[in-house]
Amino acid sequence: MAGTTEATGSLFRRIDGNVVVPTDLARGPWDPSALHGGPVAALIAQVIEELPDDGVAWFVSRLTVELERPVSLQPLVVEAEITRPGRKVSIIDVTVRLASTNNVLARARALRIRQADIPLPHDDETLAPMLERVPAPLGPEHGSDDEIKATDYVAFHNGAVEHRFIHLPNASNGAVFDWIRLIVPVLPDRPLTSLQRIAAAADFANGISHVLPFESHLFLNPELTIHLFHPMRGEWVGMASTTYHGPHGVGMSDTALFDIDGRIGRSNQSLVLDLRE
């Protein structure tokens, strides 16, 4: 495995308050003028975590991102609002708008659950095995980045993250395991968080587990849904991803999410299947 690296720059720069502008490191592989979904999801995670502290140790257990329109490399207004306050469960709604027109480009909803020390029956011989986390396969140090396709411009997938494939894509069903590590911050001088790393990585599922050829087909995701049940440790997000295809132009990706110690959650994408023009 190649040594880990750190890149310079960030995915976005803050212009003023809740206005940010994407950098080249946020661009996607489909169109150099549009963002990859990963940076959009990571930015949404950033604004969720920037909400004022209310004294509750919140854990984001679900994050759903609706990508309503292509997000271009122009100034964006990002706003988060707690729409369901509470002490055990709360909901946050986020909008991403184009600053010049105020058009909504993406919406998101996060479900937060309070964290608490709830004893589990690990000493019960029957229940204990069911309480254990599914272990991760070989770690990222055993992986390879040989499968990443280069583009002729700097983008998110080739400039802002590292990939380490353990099981390379299988043409029969698209199954793959990829370790992904975000190597630039979402915003300058802001430390990366686990939620930002997971949100950035999860949007890669349809690309890393693709079955249809990039040259002839499109398989774009208009949404991303992440469920988490365990805090993440470390910087690498493991993704056991598979893509499924319907006969009517609709597909989906299904991903088990891991950290270096074991399973932490799941993510899914709905896919629009189409032919390239």
d(C-alpha 112, C-alpha 133), whole Å: 21
User: Do 7 and 162 contact (CB within 8 A), yes or no?
Assistant: no
User: Do 18 and 47 contact (CB within 8 A), yes or no?
Assistant: yes
d(C-alpha 28, C-alpha 245), whole Å: 22
CA 239 to chain centre: 10
d(C-alpha 29, C-alpha 161), whole Å: 13
Residue 173's pLDDT is 56
Residue 170's pLDDT is 52
d(C-alpha 243, C-alpha 214), whole Å: 14
Residue 174's pLDDT is 64
The DSSP secondary-structure symbol of 71 reads: -
Question: What is the pTM for the complete model shown?
Answer: 0.93
- Encoded amino acid at 60, one letter: V
Place of tokens 């480009």: 105
Residue 8's pLDDT is 79
Mean pLDDT per 10-residue interval, the chain, length 277 residues: 65 95 93 94 98 97 97 97 97 98 98 96 94 92 76 88 78 77 95 98 94 90 98 97 95 97 98 92
The domain ranges of the chain are 12-116+134-275
Reported residue count of the chain is: 277
Instruction: Please tell me the CATH code under which domain 12-116+134-275 is placed.
Output: 2.40.160.210
CB-neighbour burial class of residue 168 (10 A; exposed 0-12, middle 13-18, buried 19+): middle
Residues of 125-144 as b/e, b for ≥16 C-beta within 10 angstroms? eeeeeeeeeeebeebbeebe
Residue 171's pLDDT is 43
d(C-alpha 163, C-alpha 183), whole Å: 11
Residue 277's pLDDT is 80
Residue 5's pLDDT is 60
d(C-alpha 225, C-alpha 237), whole Å: 16
